[in-house]
Amino acid sequence: MENKINFTKAIIDALPMPETGKRNIYHDTKISGLQLRVTSVKTFFINRRIRGGNPQRITLGRYPDMTIEQARRKTLELVHDIAEGKNPADLLREARKEMTLDELFEEYMDRCAVFNKRPDKPKATYRLYLSKLGNRKLSSIKHEEVDRLHKKIGRSNGQVTANIVLKLLHVMFNKAINEWRIWKGENPAHGIAKFPEQSRDRFLQSDELPRFFQAVAEEENETIRDYVLMSLLTGARRSNVLAMRWQDINFERAEWRIEVTKNGTPQTVALSPEAIEILQSRKSLDSAEYVFPGNGKAGHLMEPKKGWKRILERAGIDNLRIHDLRRTLGSWQAKTGASLAIIGKSLNHKNQNTTAIYARLDLDPVRESINKATGAMLAAAGVKQSTNVAKIKGTK
């Protein structure tokens, strides 16, 4: 039995199964050449005469593993190939060897997760926004489709989220094409403009510092309290402070060596006397591998959100993130006269215009700037008259 119908999910789902040993063929009224064979399963295919020979049936895929939209798009591609004299059966056999987006993501995580301090983030991004494309062959994912997905996510989940999804997809394809050489096609995310994002310039102001330090001092969880202080006093990235190890700290030189940072370069952090005092107090209490130990698999503190929320609520401060502590140190360095090169060296910024300057800087002016900025912050908070953080670390 052959029928012409408009292929929609509702119509195909409702199609009756034929008697055992028989089959029904349905023709799509929207895309000429696309057919659906219904037996115990439902299969998309096309029938075409190749190079003047006999008609050939070319199977596209089973429904619903292959969606109606995918089947229609593949039909148009194959009809075009036939018109150019190509044998689509050969092309399909080659395509079956091609990896899917799921397989590419697995490759990405295998190769890149070791360098990612938060591998759960790309996993969550992929699961929430890209996994629907997971069974698709890489060549079937088109630029226009990615552009539509980016805009859709921007409308429904926010423009920052949409940009994160686009960046993940772009990086995955770029590595597959240019670095790993496992895909010879095009990057469907290339050339898609990101949504504009407003640069965040939040940092602790002079009038907020007294309330902030008082709220930190009242925090009962000592690990959270010291982690927050260390984040502010070093300006290091969140993930690096969380994973700070005792073996990387040199008390004699007052330095902390970070072997792997976000921008791929190591960093030596100059530790102020206040930072050293906090570390010495923790060293006497804990002999674990990590400065801020945790109960999870990583072995160190992973998620200080609850403690951070308590501190902000006590301080009456809104719209402040842990990463803003890093920006706070840089801002106070600028306020106390540090050059942009010194600030960049302190925060391990990787900027093409200043990298050469950073490379010529030693740590002494960086240390002087950090100490000066730290002193100014603590003085503004009313908790520092000398290099002593006893009032910061005090209890209620």
> What DSSP line would sit under 76-115, residue for residue?
HHHHHHHHTT--HHHHHHHHTTSPBHHHHHHHHHHHHGGG
**Mean pLDDT in residue range 103-108:** 89
**Mean pLDDT in residue range 66-72:** 90
Q: Is the dihedral of CA 50, 55, 59, 63 positive or negative?
A: positive
Q: What pLDDT does residue 360 have?
A: 46
Which residue ranges make up each domain of the chain?
A: 2-95, 101-179, 209-381
pLDDT at 30 over 80: yes
Predicted confidence band of residue 285 (pLDDT cuts 50, 70, 90): low
Averaged pLDDT of the chain: 84
pLDDT at 23 over 90: no
Greater confidence (5 vs 393) lies with 5
Under a CB-based contact definition with an 8 Å cutoff, are residues 28 and 5 in contact? Answer: yes
**Mean pLDDT in residue range 304-333:** 91
Six token digits for residue 67: 């969606």
Max mean pLDDT among 20-29, 126-135, 291-300 falls in 126-135
Q: What pLDDT does residue 359 have?
A: 40
**Mean pLDDT in residue range 314-331:** 90
Predicted confidence band of residue 167 (pLDDT cuts 50, 70, 90): very high
Overall pTM > 0.85: no
Under a CB-based contact definition with an 8 Å cutoff, are residues 232 and 315 in contact? Answer: no
Best CA proximity match to 328, nearest among 222, 241, 209, 199: 209
Which amino acid appears at position 12 of this protein? Answer: I
Predicted confidence band of residue 200 (pLDDT cuts 50, 70, 90): low
Beta bridge partners of 395: none
Considering the segment(s) 209-381 as one domain, its CATH architecture is Orthogonal Bundle (1.10)
Predicted confidence band of residue 117 (pLDDT cuts 50, 70, 90): low
**Peptide bond connecting 64 to the previous residue in cis, omega within 30 degrees of 0:** yes
Six token digits for residue 194: 């990101």
**Mean pLDDT in residue range 175-203:** 85
Predicted confidence band of residue 248 (pLDDT cuts 50, 70, 90): very high
Question: What is the rounded distance in angstroms from the CA atom of residue 246 to the CA atom of residue 292?
Answer: 10
The percent of residues in the chain predicted with pLDDT above 70, rounded, is 84
- Residues 335-357 have pLDDT tens digits of 888 777 787 888 887 654 433 33
Let me know how many helices (H) and strands (E) the chain has, helices first.
Answer: 16, 8
- Residues 206-229 have pLDDT tens digits of 889 999 999 999 999 999 999 999
Q: Which of 189-203, 242-256, 307-321 has the lowest mean pLDDT?
A: 189-203
Domain spanning 2-95: CATH 3.30.160.390:
yes
Greater confidence (210 vs 197) lies with 210
Q: What pLDDT does residue 287 have?
A: 65
Neighbours of 113 (CB within 10 A): 14
Strand order in the sheet with 267-270: 249-250, 255-258, 267-270
Q: What pLDDT does residue 198 have?
A: 67
Strand order in the sheet with 24-28: 2-5, 24-28, 34-38, 42-49, 55-63
Under a CB-based contact definition with an 8 Å cutoff, are residues 28 and 35 in contact? Answer: yes
pLDDT at 392 over 90: no
Classify 146 as helix, strand or coil.
helix
Q: What pLDDT does residue 143 have?
A: 94
Best CA proximity match to 191, nearest among 154, 159, 146: 146
**Mean pLDDT in residue range 86-100:** 68
Report how far apart the first and last C-alpha atoms of the chain are (Å, whole number).
83
pLDDT at 262 over 90: no
Query: What is the DSSP code (8-state) at residue 261?
Result: -
Which amino acid appears at position 73 of this protein? Answer: R
Predicted confidence band of residue 66 (pLDDT cuts 50, 70, 90): confident
Question: What is the rounded distance in angstroms from the CA atom of residue 76 to the CA atom of residue 31?
Answer: 8
Q: What pLDDT does residue 89 have?
A: 63
Six token digits for residue 306: 């609850």
What are the two backbone dihedrals, phi and then psi, of residue 334, each rounded to the nearest 5 degrees?
A: -65, -40
The percent of residues in the chain predicted with pLDDT above 90, rounded, is 43
Side-chain-side CA neighbours of residue 131 (13 Å): 8
